[in-house]
Amino acid sequence: MIITEIIGRRGRIWEVRFDDGTYINLDKGYAEPFNLKAGMNISEEKADKMEDESDILRCKNRAFYYLSKGDLSEKKLKEKLIKAGHELRFVQITLERLKELSYIDDARFANRFYEKCRQSGLSSRQSVEKMVAAGIKRQTAREICEYSSLDERESIKRLIDKKYRNIICGEDGIKKTTAALVRRGFAFSDIRAVIKEFSSVLDGVNEEL
């Protein structure tokens, strides 16, 4: 096939047209080293190979762009790449390569995401739902949260200290604080245990005064 024309399209795309009426789209950065010009003869096999390689490069570049904005699960990155218009076969190749290079690691991502949930004062139940929404498998999310379930009461204590200390000491404070913590997804038994401990400490301080 003889190249008849090379047209710059939006972004970094070159449309390479051939004398048989067909064309291929190539990423500018990929195509430049080939020094493509009108009049050059390229086999159909070579043209198809170049277009596939160019599409894979564009898919990888977009994946790196998304990852530069923050960690993503494999599922969410896959969804974003497909939504951006990349073919599934190129997305799969890209994801496998990124996993080989450890740019995406769902286990690492899940643990980091859970830590953010914990620091935000979310209960295990809420954390699971947040993690699933972020593309983490529900079973994986549950295992991580169950393994860390001993931190639940510590999370409640931190929340009371940070957000509810003034409320819990006021009128109907225990009731209001309990309701707020239940809405966050904490187990009632854990809430009751922490508030009982907090009340005991508070009573001790009042007696000293």
Domain residue ranges in the chain: 3-100, 106-147, 152-208
pLDDT in tens, 105-140: 888 888 888 888 877 777 778 888 888 998 888 888
Q: Which residues of 109-144 are buried (b: 16+ CB within 10 A; e: fewer)?
A: bbeebbeebbeebbbbebbbbbbbebbbeeebbbeb
Whole-angstrom distance, CA of residue 44 vs CA of residue 178? 70
Whole-angstrom distance, CA of residue 44 vs CA of residue 117? 52
What pTM, to 2 d.p., does this model score?
0.64
Are 197 and 159 within 8 A, CB to CB? no
What is 3-100's CATH number?
1.10.10.10
pLDDT in tens, 30-52: 988 988 889 989 999 999 999 99
